[in-house]
Amino acid sequence: RPCGALTSASLAEHWELHAVWSRMGQNDSILGSLKIAPDVNDALLRGNPVVALESTIISHGMPYPQNLQTAKEVQAILKANGAVPATIAILDGVPCIGLNNEQLERLAKLGSKAQKTARRDISHVVASGGNGATTVSATMFFASKVGIPVFVTGGVGGVHRHAETTMDISSDLTELGKTPMAVISAGVKSILDIPRTLEYLETQGVTVAVYQSNDFPAFFSGSSGCKAPCRLDTPEQCARLIYANMKLGLGSGMLIAVPAPEEHVAAGNAIESAIKKALEEAKVNNVAGNAATPFLLSRVNELTGGASLLASILCYKLFFSYIALVKNNALIGARIAVALADLRR
């Protein structure tokens, strides 16, 4: 049952974001530039749990039709656990907050023909009427503008290895520094420099918490060898952290890392050598900039697949593990969003 249009005033009232919103100079004009799906709009107005989802994982993260199937399954997990999913993408130049099945299918079929859209790319994709799959940074930007405080993904970008010479540091990290939102991920992939990523997050003032572990996870492998800056054991504890951030008007983000379920750790350890090889290839072939992450991810997939039967089983397992991790994050993200909505009532 629709209950009127979202305005910044109604948002601020429902979400007690006065301090944050006024600091950001929030006004209604951005809402006029976005398309908010009816179910997302209603949930936001009623103070019901909403979880944002990125779309680069759909366009560039997996092939069709697995990407569409996974996107639908992740949405179904969120719904089954009491949260309204809001997948974010730019279609024909219009930023969409929440995609219906038709829009989701369109994006999944576009695949890498959709532009990978980080914060820096938003204006261009909108101005040119293009189709943009939003990365973590762009998704955070849009989600925060409509007052969605929880965002679920697979892995966030980070400081690349050898960043001391390339300066390749994902804008996901600076976005986390200036956007009050909790990003639930499986940590950071080991194609990246994890210790430097954590240092950079500290510099940016990002709260980094690990769910039910003392170690910061490296995506498939449960531990990166780095200690968790703080540990949270229940969805309620996570919700209280987010609530405190909002009440204080800190304006900075939170990264909640969820370690991979035990059964997926073995597959993770097996990809380390593929990662090293892919990194060398990227260097030899001068792959840099925003092409680096997609190149490394697809080469790791290829290198762990390919010739031998054993390897292709491993590749299949990896792919399966990847999807399983994203789903696991969705389950925990939904519980956190529900606990947060309860806290605010």
Residues 131-170 that bind Mn ion (CB under 5 A): 168
Give me 86's structure tokens.
């809001």
Q: 107, 148, 109: which is closest to 125 by C-alpha?
A: 107
Determine how many CB atoms are found less than 10 A away from the CB of residue 286: 8
Token pair recorded at residue 47: 């103070």
The answer to whether residue 293 forms part of the interface with ligand PSU (CB under 6 A) is yes
* Region from 50-58, 101-109, 199-207, 259-267 binding ligand PSU, contact rule CB under 6 A: 50-58
CB of 192 to Mn ion, least distance (A): 10
Q: Token match 């994982």: residue?
A: 57
User: Of 89, 130, 100, which is closest to residue 113 (Cα–Cα)?
Assistant: 130
Residue 147 in contact with ligand PSU, rule: CB under 6 A? no
Q: Which residues are catalytic?
A: 54, 189
Task: State which residue has the least CB distance to Mn ion.
Answer: 168
Given the rule CB under 6 A, which of 12-20, 123-131, 150-158, 307-315 is the region that contacts ligand PSU?
150-158
Note whether 245 binds ligand PSU by CB under 6 A: no
d(CA 28, CA 46): 18
| Total interface residues for Mn ion by CB under 5 A | 1
b (16+ CB within 10 A) / e for 156-188: bbbbbbebeeeebbbbbbbbbbbbbbbbbbbbb
For ligand PSU, the binding residue among 8, 26, 56, 117 (CB under 6 A) is 56
Closest distance to Mn ion from the beta carbon of 292 (Å)? 6
The answer to whether the bond into 2 is cis (omega within 30° of 0) is no
Residue 172 contacts Mn ion per CB under 5 A:
no
Interface positions with Mn ion (CB under 5 A): 168
Q: Which residues bind ligand PSU (CB under 6 A)?
A: 54, 56-57, 60-61, 118, 135-136, 154-157, 170-172, 189, 290, 293, 297
